[in-house]
């Protein structure tokens, strides 16, 4: 082997050895690299966080307890509209009137038709009486009597049909007066006087402002308190300074918003002394919450997704993941199921202030690191 070839072979061996050493070193570094544990973000709530619930304020917008668009049941031309925006009306007050002429004419036509049918019925009954007498003397056959009986019955049926049409026509005539269904205030007018309108076409909007409704969006972590522990609700309006208006809950939603994860809670209040709440006014709702002394035994409502059973062999054992905020880890806590609630499960075994995981409980493990997203 000449020197040039030897040098080339030696150089190749050096390069190969160096590459091998580099690969071995890289593998050793890769195997000794520390694998960081997965930190999962979790959705959580704090149970019995009453103080936070009290200090939170919930914005809302006032609306009339009853709001309805009023329309005629029949078409026609408006000839009278004694109300306008802002007019106050009492139940039964006439707010608009259609031209009754066409409906009066229709009633008269039907009444004339009925009179003609009554005359025809009278003649048919007279003829029937005559044929029955002739039949008794064997001057006519039974078929002649039967034919006349059918004539009488047909006249009676026609009169009954006209009577039904007359009832409908008189009812429609009554619909030409648009009466207020309840005491309220006119907030909008959609048509002008002497305008032709269709049946069911909105004519005006009537609000019952004797009581006012508001809707608050309560976060999922607090909704369990609302049906059981809210003792008092007050509402304030910046346009009515110095007034704290008492209210009461009328409805608690059972389905959370998909985007905000909040539940709608509707409250209602009377008009206060010293001011008037107008629909559309922005206000703030404050709830006073009080947990009973034995709440831990009587239970607290939590989302059903928070409760799980890790062992299929013992499905009666229920647990909840509790977050240790100091170490940012989760641990299982045994709870007892008491009953089903409207929005979740009533459980005992939790302590006031426990932060529990309410979603994705099946992918967590004991002592796992978690992250609580900013609320």
Burial class of residue 173 in the structure, from the number of CB atoms within 10 Å of its CB (0-12 exposed, 13-18 middle, 19+ buried): middle
On whether both 214 and 274 belong to a single domain, the answer is yes
Q: What pLDDT is stored for residue 344 in this prediction?
A: 73
- Domain stops at, among 270, 293, 316: 293
- Decide if 331 is inside a domain: yes
For 353, residues 6+ apart whose C-beta sits below 8 A from its C-beta are: 46, 47, 48, 49
**For position 318, which CATH number holds?**
2.40.420.20
- Decide if 352 is inside a domain: yes
Q: What pLDDT is stored for residue 52 in this prediction?
A: 55
φ/ψ (deg, to 5) at 133: -65, -40
Query: What is the C-alpha separation between 112 and 109, in angstroms, rounded?
Result: 5
Residue 70 contacts residue 95 (beta carbons within 8 Å): yes
Residue 334 contacts residue 347 (beta carbons within 8 Å): no
- Domain stops at, among 274, 293, 312: 293
Work out the end-to-end distance of the chain between its first and last CA atoms, rounded to an integer number of angstroms. Answer: 78
Distances (CA, A) of 222 to 81, 117, 118, 307, 347: 49, 72, 73, 17, 15
**For position 170, which CATH number holds?**
1.10.287
Q: What pLDDT is stored for residue 39 in this prediction?
A: 83
Q: Return the closest-CA partner of residue 369 out of 320, 306, 321, 311.
A: 321
Residue range of the domain that includes 150: 101-174
User: Which DSSP string do the residues of 331-375 spell out, in sequence order?
Assistant: EEEEEEEEEE-SSSEEEES--TT-EEE-S-GGG--TT-BEE----
On whether both 148 and 128 belong to a single domain, the answer is yes
- Decide if 4 is inside a domain: no
- Decide if 202 is inside a domain: no
- Paired residues of 184 in beta bridges: 89
On whether both 150 and 226 belong to a single domain, the answer is no
- Decide if 361 is inside a domain: yes
For residue 73, the SS3 value is coil
Could you report the average pLDDT of every consecutive run of 10 residues in the chain (375 residues)?
A: 39 41 46 64 75 70 93 97 94 96 97 96 95 92 94 96 96 96 94 95 95 87 65 90 92 80 89 90 86 63 84 78 91 86 75 83 90 74
On whether both 258 and 285 belong to a single domain, the answer is yes
**For position 213, which CATH number holds?**
2.40.30.170
Q: What pLDDT is stored for residue 74 in this prediction?
A: 97
Query: What is the C-alpha separation between 208 and 89, in angstroms, rounded?
Result: 10
Q: What pLDDT is stored for residue 35 in this prediction?
A: 60
Q: Is the dihedral of CA 65, 69, 73, 78 positive or negative?
A: positive
Q: Return the closest-CA partner of residue 367 out of 141, 12, 38.
A: 38
- Decide if 225 is inside a domain: yes
Q: What distance lies between CA 101 and its chain's CA centroid?
A: 43
- Domain stops at, among 267, 293, 319: 293
Q: Is the dihedral of CA 358, 361, 365, 371 positive or negative?
A: negative
On whether both 168 and 239 belong to a single domain, the answer is no
Locate 213 and state its tokens.
């409704």
Helices (H), 64-141: 101-136
- Decide if 200 is inside a domain: no
User: Which DSSP string do the residues of 127-158 spell out, in sequence order?
Assistant: HHHHHHHHHHTTSS-HHHHHHHHHHHHHHHHH
Q: What pLDDT is stored for residue 72 in this prediction?
A: 97
Domain count, the chain: 3
Task: Go through 274-307 and write b for each residue having 16 or more CB atoms within 10 A of its CB, e for each that does not.
Answer: eeebbbebebebbbebeeeeebbeebbbbbeebb
- Decide if 318 is inside a domain: yes
């Amino acid at each position: 082997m000449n020197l040039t070839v030897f040098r080339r072979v030696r150089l190749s061996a050096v390069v190969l050895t160096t590459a091998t050493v580099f690969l071995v070193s890289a593998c050793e570094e890769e195997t000794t690299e520390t694998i960081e544990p997965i930190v999962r973000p979790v959705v959580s709530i704090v149970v019995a966080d009453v103080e936070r619930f009290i200090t939170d304020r919930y914005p809302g917008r006032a609306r009339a307890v009853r709001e309805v668009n009023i329309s005629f049941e029949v078409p026609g031309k408006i000839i009278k509209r004694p109300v306008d925006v802002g007019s106050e009306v009492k139940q039964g007050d006439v707010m608009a009137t259609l031209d009754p002429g066409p409906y009066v004419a229709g009633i008269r036509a039907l009444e004339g038709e009925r009179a003609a049918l009554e005359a025809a019925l009278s003649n048919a009954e007279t003829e029937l009486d005559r044929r029955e007498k002739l039949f008794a003397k064997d001057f006519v056959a039974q078929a002649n009597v039967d034919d006349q009986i059918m004539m009488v019955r047909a006249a009676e049926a026609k009169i009954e049909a006209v009577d039904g049409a007359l009832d409908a026509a008189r009812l429609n005539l009554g619909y030409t007066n648009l009466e207020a269904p309840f005491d309220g205030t006119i907030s909008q007018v959609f048509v002008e006087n002497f305008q032709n309108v269709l049946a069911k076409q909105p004519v005006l909007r009537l609000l019952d402002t004797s009581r006012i409704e508001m809707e608050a969006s309560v976060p999922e972590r607090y909704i369990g308190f609302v049906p059981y522990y809210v003792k008092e609700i007050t509402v304030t309006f910046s346009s009515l300074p110095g007034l704290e208006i008492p209210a009461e809950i009328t409805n608690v939603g059972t389905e959370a918003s998909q985007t905000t994860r909040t539940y709608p809670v509707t409250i209602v209040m009377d008009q206060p002394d010293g001011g008037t709440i107008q629909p559309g006014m922005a206000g703030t709702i404050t709830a006073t919450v009080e947990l009973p002394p034995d709440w831990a035994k009587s239970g607290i409502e939590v989302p059903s997704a928070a409760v799980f059973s890790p062992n299929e062999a013992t499905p009666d054992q229920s647990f909840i993941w509790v977050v240790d905020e100091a170490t940012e880890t989760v641990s299982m806590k045994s709870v007892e199921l008491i009953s089903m609630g409207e929005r979740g499960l009533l459980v005992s075994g939790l302590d006031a202030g426990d932060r529990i995981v309410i979603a994705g409980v099946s992918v967590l493990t004991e002592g796992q690191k978690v992250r609580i997203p900013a609320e």
